[in-house]
Amino acid sequence: MSTNDETIRVYPNLIEGKFTLSFYTKRAGATQINAFNVEGRKITGISTNLLAGVNSFQLSLPKGSFAIQVVGNGYTYTAKIINQGATSNKPEIVFAGYQKPVFPGSQKSKNAVTTMLYSEGDQLLYKAVSGNYSTILTDKPVGSKNTNFNFVDCTDADGNFYTVVTIGTQTWMAENLKTTLYNDGTSIPNVTDNTAWNSLATPAYCWYGNDASTYKSKYGALYNWFAVNTGKLAPVGWHVPTDAEWTTMENYLITNGYNYDGTTTGNKVGKALAATTDWSNNFSEGAVGNDLSKNNSSGFSALPGGGRYYTNGMFSYFGETGYWWTATEFNASFASYRYTIIYFDSMSRQNYYKTVGFSVRCIKD
């Protein structure tokens, strides 16, 4: 059975005694498998969390005819089996194996010519899309060349697909994480009450202002560091970056001249990382001695998603500041994070209370 076949199989069938049930799981999550006799009575069942791919189970059932039902995260399968063997004293369903989905190489090609007006030395930002996959690439071409786009799978357990961007040798998510499930399919607690959030010492997430309809799609979720520290927050094949991995990215941008106006030297990483829209206009340009323009020359597309604070669980600084957790612990109470503010050129580093709600970006393993 191919790991990408969206189907269910029972073998052997007709059976005598035990048999194997295999089915394709479209995305990770809770799955219920039940066996019913011809009278509709449930003989046995199992509830478990599965990863995306082909999952197999071994079943033992009494002699007779049965319907097998599989209900998962976004899919339902049914199958009929006839057992001609001796009656089993203990009907049961046991997990038997897993195959990860296979993402094949090139499947299609298309040629087109587009004329773009730019001067030598200008920096270009490309966004390429193929189906559910999208990737961002930046370049300063000085002549004719081929540019290749590597479509990398970045899909969380909720089934959200993320745009990715390569910066130096690293591949990052170009969007904030918005999963409500860990990568093993289990749920992350959504804590809306301010007092409850303030006293947490366990993993949790929320939407800014507890308003998913407004903030989820574009700005993602806010997670406390306890959720980060589970090691299960990122999509499979990805992880929450360490403080050192953030530093590697920032040093690459500085060394390679990703400055907001192309001429100014120094740490202009905040300019290079920030999206060009959605920053608050509450501050006038130059009000504190800095140019407030953002140019996203890295393709990272950082947004000012604000945060949720430990003192009272209140939401603050949306439109003005973007905060992102690292996976690096500072001490028993604090962990490291990065942030950029509308009126600062740089990306800054601090340590803060683990109970705070910040955005999360992930990096490919």
In a shared domain, residues 89 and 148: no
The pLDDT, as a whole number, for residue 365 is 94
Residue 360 belongs to some domain of the structure: yes
The pLDDT, as a whole number, for residue 161 is 93
Q: How far apart are CA 355 and CA 143, in angstroms?
A: 51
Residue finishing a domain among 42, 65, 99: 99
Q: How far apart are CA 317 and CA 204, in angstroms?
A: 20
In a shared domain, residues 289 and 338: yes
Q: How far apart are CA 269 and CA 280, in angstroms?
A: 19
Q: How far apart are CA 231 and CA 229, in angstroms?
A: 5
Strand partners for 44: 35
Question: Tokens in use for 274?
Answer: 């920030």
Q: Say if residues 10 and 66 touch (Cβ distance below 8 Å).
A: no
The pLDDT, as a whole number, for residue 62 is 86
Residue with the two structure tokens 């959200």? 160
In a shared domain, residues 140 and 19: no
In Å, what is the CA distance from 328 to each residue of 102, 223, 263, 268, 344?
Answer: 32, 15, 33, 24, 24
Q: How far apart are CA 362 and CA 360, in angstroms?
A: 7
In a shared domain, residues 40 and 185: no
pLDDT one digit per residue (tens) for the chain, 365 residues: 566 667 888 888 767 778 899 998 877 888 999 999 888 899 899 999 888 889 999 988 888 888 999 998 878 899 888 888 765 568 889 999 888 877 655 556 667 777 777 887 788 889 998 888 899 998 888 888 888 888 889 999 998 999 999 999 999 999 999 999 999 999 999 999 999 998 899 999 999 999 999 999 999 999 999 999 999 999 999 999 999 999 999 988 888 877 544 444 556 788 889 888 888 755 444 444 344 467 888 999 999 999 998 778 899 999 989 999 999 999 999 999 999 988 777 888 999 999 999 999 999 99
pTM of the model: 0.70
**What total number of domains does the chain contain?**
2
Question: Tokens in use for 229?
Answer: 């520290």
Name which of 66, 101, 48 is nearest 57 in CA terms: 48
Residue 113 belongs to some domain of the structure: no
In a shared domain, residues 128 and 95: no
Residue 12 belongs to some domain of the structure: yes
Calculate the CA dihedral of residues 30, 36, 39, 43 and round it to 10 degrees. Answer: -110
Residue 107 belongs to some domain of the structure: no
- What CATH number is attached to the domain comprising 29? 2.60.40.1930
In a shared domain, residues 228 and 289: yes
Residue 242 belongs to some domain of the structure: yes
